Amino acid sequence: MKQAYNGIVYDTERALLLARNEHMFCIESMAQGSTDVDLYRTHDGLYFTYTVTMSIFGEQLSNPELAPLSPHEAIAVYNEMTDRRLDFADAFPTCTEAARDAFFTL
């Protein structure tokens, strides 16, 4: 999916997938579907999420949404993800160790 915000194009096919959530099967997901959230980083170092709700049969139940994130917002999302594709240092290469430590002590 590709979408522009403030003149910047965010594209899931060209960005690097950093992490995504994994869902466990439950009765609630049968009735309401599961909301999938993927966290990406563009080649320019910008972060965004891709969110869509899917049925257990693979049918799309909501329109996909892209949402730009600040680096701190992206770190918070990354920390909530269950399927991390990259280690923290690789996912956030411009985040210094001091800045990372400061963030985790909040």
Confidence class for position 62, pLDDT limits 50, 70, 90:
confident
**Chain-centre distance of CA 65, in angstroms?**
11
pLDDT of residue 11: 96
Phi-psi region of 85 (alpha: psi -120 to 50; beta: other; left: phi over 0): alpha
Query: What is the rounded (10 degree) CA torsion for 50, 95, 22, 16?
Result: 50
Tell me the whole-structure pTM to 2 decimals.
Answer: 0.81
Q: Indicate whether 100 pLDDT > 70.
A: no
Considering just the CA atoms, what is the radius of gyration of the chain in Å?
Answer: 15
Confidence class for position 52, pLDDT limits 50, 70, 90:
confident
CA distances from 36 to 23, 29, 100 (A): 8, 11, 26
Residues 6+ apart with CB under 8 A from 56: 25, 29, 30, 33, 34
More confident residue, 62 or 31: 62
